């Protein structure tokens, strides 16, 4: 192969590699936020006073999501399931959690900052906080949702 042809082939390969890397980077922008920069909104499906901050993704779409939940002190989340596997990390506070078809506070285990739970799709579960606000980070692949086993436990059904 001539030197001229070798240079042309090398430039073509370099150009193709550049275009491929540019295409890969497109749509994968950096997401970075400090806790103070998070935008919080009410999460009525979880309970009164509970706040949510969606960091990544659209919870209604079949795509990766990352969110934080802020649960006030003395919050109780009735027995419910989710249509996705949830990966939960406790950021602050103490999170009381158990699986099962009926709420039994005595069976709930305390999880502390840094503790992680991976909860398979459809697992009946319940949770609570006690004396302090608790912040959780959840991630998975949507669409995310919450279904209460007992409709009376669903805060969206309460009459305010």
Query: What number is the average pLDDT over the span 125-139?
Result: 99
Query: What number is the average pLDDT over the span 13-17?
Result: 38
86-92 and 116-119 as β-strands: parallel, antiparallel, unpaired?
antiparallel
Query: What number is the average pLDDT over the span 153-160?
Result: 85
Can you give the pLDDT at residue 11?
39
Quickly state the pLDDT bin for 158 (edges 50, 70, 90): confident
Q: Nearest CA to 95 among 123, 81, 120, 76?
A: 76
58 prior amide bond cis, ω within 30:
no
Model-level pTM? 0.81
Strand arrangement, sheet containing 76-81: 109-111, 95-99, 125-128, 76-81, 147-148
Query: What number is the average pLDDT over the span 139-158?
Result: 96
Can you give the pLDDT at residue 98?
99
For the cut 80, the answer to whether the pLDDT of residue 14 exceeds it is no
Query: What number is the average pLDDT over the span 113-119?
Result: 99
Query: Span 35-157: which CATH code?
Result: 2.60.120.10
For CA atoms 149, 45, 69, 138, give the dihedral sign: positive
The mean pLDDT of the chain is 88
Can you give the pLDDT at residue 27?
53
Can you give the pLDDT at residue 1?
56
């Amino acid at each position: 192969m001539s030197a001229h042809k070798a240079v042309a082939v090398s430039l073509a390969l370099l150009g193709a590699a550049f275009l491929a890397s540019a295409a890969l980077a497109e749509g994968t922008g950096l997401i970075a936020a400090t806790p103070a920069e998070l935008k919080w909104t009410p999460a009525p499906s979880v309970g009164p006073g509970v706040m949510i901050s969606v960091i990544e993704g659209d919870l209604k779409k079949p795509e990766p999501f990352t969110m934080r939940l802020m649960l006030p002190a003395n919050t109780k989340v009735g027995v419910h399931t989710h249509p996705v596997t949830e990966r939960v990390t406790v950021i602050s506070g103490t999170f009381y959690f158990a699986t099962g078809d009926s709420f039994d506070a005595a069976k709930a285990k305390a999880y502390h900052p840094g503790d992680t739970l991976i909860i398979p799709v459809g697992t009946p579960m319940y949770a609570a906080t006690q004396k302090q606000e608790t912040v959780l980070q959840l991630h998975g692949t949507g669409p995310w949702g919450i279904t209460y086993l007992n409709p009376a436990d669903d805060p969206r059904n309460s009459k305010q």
